[in-house]
Amino acid sequence: MAQLVFFTGPMNSGKSTLALQTHFTETQAGRAGRVFSRDDRAGAATISSRIGQEQPAIEVTDDFDFYGYVTGELANGRRVDYLICDEAHFYPAEQIDQLARVVDDLDVDVHCFAILTDFRTELFPATRRLVELSDRMELLQVRPRCWCGAPATHNARTVDGRMVTEGSQVMVGDVVPTADRVVAYQVLCRRHHRARMTAAAASSRDEVG
């Protein structure tokens, strides 16, 4: 029986890498699938990992209908055995219901890869729905570390180098700040997320001390 599987972990835990690996493994077994993403750091219609792997994907928009898309493919004689859905935390919650229907009514496996909580430590609407509907939830085994060395569990957003806990839930940035990038992200342990102590803030404090 097909399943809706939710793979999750903080940034740098290898979600997109696993999404690409899952697609490769499925195709090697002779199965036909489709790869989806949204707001990938590499640009539209792309799924990319931070270790340098990437491939084209179907860009998900707010009005995209997963159930309508798959039924259309099947009606036109095109085989669909599974879907790979990366950056699923950016999807509208109703699209998670569509994916569940794809699994239940069309017997197509769906693999969703997403961050569980945002920079405010709150669930995204889509990940809340994935927790509610998924047949299985998998926590990625690759555990990124906070600057202090403890396992990182929280995603922090920085604007002009300062950690923020307010603002739009969706704001695409990256985990490697550069001179021309205002918005950046960093993974922290709970203690240092609560204290708003990023690596830069800790370094500045040490220099003052």
Q: What is the CATH number of the domain that holds 19?
A: 3.40.50.300
At residue 158, the 3 state secondary structure works out as: strand
DSSP structural state of residue 2: -
For residue 208, pLDDT beyond 70: no
147 inside domain? no
Specify the residue for token string 């195709």: 27
> Are residues 84 and 175 part of one domain?
no
The strand pair at 154-159 and 162-164 is best described as antiparallel
In this predicted structure, the answer to whether residue 170 has a pLDDT above a threshold of 80 is no
User: Hey, what amino acid is at 137?
Assistant: M
> What is the average pLDDT across 189-202?
91
My answer on whether 191 and 106 are in the same domain is no
* CA–CA distance, 90 with 67 (Å, rounded to integer): 18
Contact partners, residue 43, CB within 8 Å, separation at least 6: none
132 is known as an active-site residue: no
Supply 85's token pair: 């859905």
- Let me know if residue 144 belongs to a domain: no
**149 located within any domain:** no
174 pLDDT above the threshold of 90: no
* DSSP 8-class letter at 199: H
Question: Helix, strand or coil for residue 94?
Answer: helix
Joined tokens for residue 20? 């690409």
Distances (CA, A) of 169 to 46, 100, 185, 194, 203: 21, 24, 13, 18, 27
Q: What angle do CA 128, 116, 119 make, to 5 degrees?
A: 110
| Domain annotation covers residue 46 | yes
Give residue 73's identity as a one-letter amino acid code: E
Compute how many other C-beta atoms are within 10 angstroms of the C-beta atom of residue 196.
14
Among the listed residues 148, 147, 165, 146, the one whose alpha carbon sits nearest the alpha carbon of residue 157:
165
Boundary (domain end) residue, out of 78, 104, 139: 139
The counts of H helices and E strands in the chain are: 6, 11
- How many domains are there within the chain? 2
pLDDT given for residue 43 in this prediction: 66
Q: Two tokens at 194?
A: 């609560």
pLDDT at 44: 73
Taking the C-alpha atoms of residue 173 and residue 191, their distance in angstroms, rounded to an integer, is: 23
Both 99 and 12 in a single domain?
yes
Catalytic residue among 54, 59, 73, 87: 87
Residue 158 belongs to domain spanning: 154-208
* pTM of the predicted model as reported, rounded to 2 decimal places: 0.82
Write down the pLDDT at residue 171: 63
More confident residue, 10 or 7: 7
Question: How many degrees, rounded to 5, is the angle at CA 37 between CA 27 and CA 83?
Answer: 40
